[in-house]
A = this chain, B = another copy of it.
Amino acid sequence: MTTRREQTSQESRELILVAAAELFAEKGYRQTTFADVADRSGISRGSIPWHFGSKEGLLLAVLERSLHLIRLGLTEQPEDVEAGFDRLAEGARALVALPTTRLFVTLLVEALEPGSPIHGRYLEIHDTLREHCRRWLERLPLPPGLPAEALAVTIVGACIGIHQQWLLAPDRVAPDQALAALRTLVTRAVRPVGD
């Protein structure tokens, strides 16, 4: 059983993580200060290092939480290609709607720096998405020339790239239509139909 104090501490931690994810997405990791996080979360500035040690610790915890949320969303394996695509479209729409999704773009540059502390965690997020997609594809009747592993990179890549084009030009790019086109491409490849 959790005590009242533990519960409050857990709640503070969550409020700090939500505020930090928003700020890292909006301002970038380097430009965000503990004071900004305290302002946004309503939690005193002094308790942030108590929870997370350093700003790097806070960043790792933000990524850990994102990875946890992604894994929760991926626990069930869809039964067939249509159900899988319903799940993909649903997940991709949720991704586009979340204010913190920009975080993944903001942090990509940090993750690419040599010796970056978040490189490993960021890589885990990509691995998790690819692995989930590959396991789903392996259960489908893929034609020769379309190995599940390569196709998983293509599908995850398309979701990443569609999202980024939309972030940059929300009035010129319709992510729902691009995801529908991706769905049509894969369903036609798996179950070919005549013209």
**What is A's interface to B at a CB cutoff of 8 Å?**
28, 102, 105-106, 108-109, 111-113, 119, 122-123, 126-127, 130, 141, 143, 145-147, 149-151, 153-154, 156-165, 167-169, 172-175, 177-182, 184-186, 188-189, 192-195
Contacts and interface: CB of A to CB of B under 8 A. Distances in A.
Contacts of A168: 108, 111-112, 119, 122-123, 126
A160 B102 CA distance: 16
Point out which of A102, A153, A169, A175 has the most chain B C-beta atoms below 10 A from its C-beta.
A153
B181 A146 contact: yes
A106 B105 contact: no
Copies of this chain present: 2
A54 to B, nearest CB: 20
B153 A177 contact: yes
A169 B113 CA distance: 12
Contact of A181 (B126, B151, B167, B192): B151
A150 B153 CA distance: 20
B150 A161 contact: no
Given A123-B169, A178-B150, A105 B102 contact: no
Given A108-B109, A119-B168, 13 more contacts: A28-B109, A106-B109, A122-B168, A126-B165, A145-B184, A151-B185, A154-B178, A156-B165, A158-B158, A185-B185, A185-B186, A189-B189, A192-B195
Contacts of A194: 192
Contacts of A108: 105, 108-109, 164, 168
